[in-house]
Amino acid sequence: MPKVQAEELRRIGRALLVANGVPEAEAATVARHVVNANLAGHDSHGVIMLPNYIERVRVGHIVPGAPFTIVQESPTTTVVDGNWGFGYVINERAMALTIEKASSQNIAACTVFRQGHVGRLASYPLMAAEAGMIGMAWADSGRSPKGVAPFGGREARLGTNPWAIAVPSDLDGAFCMDFATSAVAMGKVKLAEARGQEIPRGWVVDSEGDLTTDPKKIKGGALLPLGGAGEGYKGTALAAMGEVFCGILTGLGFGVEPTGRHNDGCFLIAIKVEAFRPLLAFRKEVADFAHYLKDTPPAKGSSGVLYPGEVEHLAQRKRAAEGIEIEDATWAKLRALAAEGGVAAELGLG
């Protein structure tokens, strides 16, 4: 697999998107988000997604340059129609607006509908944490095809419906949680398929409802909810609440709409820490708490405790220095898109 520096991947991503009609500023935003996902170790949300996004632009499922429409608002709430724009662009702007409102009102919330895939969900709460706030984001895929079977079932009826929270602290890395409410994100199954790897038993059931380690058998099958075959009722409950906040509260609804157009609904919150405690004291205590967790004696066979978000921090530090490995199948697709767009020579991908 080729190993590529982050800035070079951003340059490639921008150029491929611009070659397919995406405005320069939007292309830069999308490229920044996907490469940041790679840096954090979440390759399932990284540049592997670029060919998919470009295909969605070509068929009209994503609309470059789409307007950002505020449907209704109050001093503490906003309802945003993304008009089928890039989720990275629309959701980032919606989170920035939510942070702005919370700065004067102490807490603010926003719903977003009719937008493309928003990628690594932690990106948006992290914006709030950088502003001295607690940020939260929840997402679902509207009425686009589902991938997760509810506990006790074998047919997909739920989205992976990720949930993320980030908290300001004095740590070197962000104190942040970000996880799908399924046993695993769908992108990790697709990544394993692209790399020709098996998946752990307990992620997926095939069309007959049997557990499988073959990622290709997700076709006709389904992801299991968080907790798997044993305690998947917990993941099912979280996913169902995600559908309520991000599908029903946004007005997207539930179930599957036949066109299959991907439609991320999001629920965003920003909470100003200083409305409750002095920010500096809060940041210090969160860091102290993280160190308290890390000081736990390790279990047998464990290298020790990591605080929430530390895995991503370590991955980012390593990959920023050493480069990002891109699986051959994805690299081949990027090269093909460069040739199609007439930018292969410019990008050194000829």
DSSP secondary structure of 70-109: EEEE-SSEEEEEEEEE-HHHHHHHHHHHHHHHHHHHSEEE
User: What pLDDT, on the 0 to 100 scale, is given for residue 99?
Assistant: 98
The pLDDT mean for the chain works out to 95
Whole-angstrom distance, CA of residue 74 vs CA of residue 169:
30
CA-nearest of 75, 85, 42 to 266 is: 85
User: What pLDDT, on the 0 to 100 scale, is given for residue 228?
Assistant: 83
Helix axes 6-18, 328-341, angle to 10 degrees: 40
CB contact at 8 A, 315 and 40: yes
User: What pLDDT, on the 0 to 100 scale, is given for residue 51?
Assistant: 97
The helix (H) or strand (E) run that includes residue 166 is: strand 163-167
Average pLDDT over residues 97-101: 98
Residues forming beta bridges with residue 270, ordered by sequence position = 108, 135
User: What pLDDT, on the 0 to 100 scale, is given for residue 283?
Assistant: 98
CA-nearest of 46, 103, 45 to 76 is: 103
Whole-angstrom distance, CA of residue 233 vs CA of residue 200:
20
Whole-angstrom distance, CA of residue 250 vs CA of residue 257:
16
Per-position b or e across 1-18, b if 16+ CB within 10 A of its CB: eeebebeebbbbbbbbbb
User: What pLDDT, on the 0 to 100 scale, is given for residue 191?
Assistant: 83
What's the pLDDT band for 255 if we cut at 50, 70, 90? confident
User: What pLDDT, on the 0 to 100 scale, is given for residue 220?
Assistant: 87
Q: DSSP code of 122?
A: T
What's the pLDDT band for 63 if we cut at 50, 70, 90? very high
Average pLDDT over residues 15-37: 98
pLDDT at 152 over 80: yes
Average pLDDT over residues 199-209: 90
CB contact at 8 A, 53 and 82: no
DSSP secondary structure of 294-332: HTSPPPTT------TTHHHHHHHHHHHHH-EE--HHHHH
Quick: pLDDT tens for 46-56: 999 999 999 99
What's the pLDDT band for 229 if we cut at 50, 70, 90? confident
CB count within 10 Å of CB 293 equals 13
Long-range contacts, stretch 243-250, CB < 8 angstroms, 24+ apart? 243/140, 243/158, 243/159, 243/161, 245/138, 246/111, 246/138, 246/139, 246/140, 246/161, 247/140, 247/142, 247/143, 249/111, 250/79, 250/111, 250/112, 250/113, 250/142
CB contact at 8 A, 205 and 149: yes
What's the pLDDT band for 195 if we cut at 50, 70, 90? confident
Backbone φ and ψ for 78, nearest 5 degrees, come out as -145, 140
What's the pLDDT band for 184 if we cut at 50, 70, 90? confident
User: What pLDDT, on the 0 to 100 scale, is given for residue 186?
Assistant: 84
Q: Quick one: what percent of the chain has pLDDT higher than 70? A: 99
User: What pLDDT, on the 0 to 100 scale, is given for residue 194?
Assistant: 83
Q: Which amino acid is at 249?
A: L
Average pLDDT over residues 166-191: 93
CA-nearest of 208, 211, 217, 242 to 229 is: 211
Average pLDDT over residues 197-226: 91
Average pLDDT over residues 180-186: 89
Predicted structure pTM score: 0.92
Quick: pLDDT tens for 268-325: 999 999 999 999 999 999 999 999 999 999 999 999 999 999 999 999 999 999 999 9
Of 192 and 131, the one with more pLDDT: 131
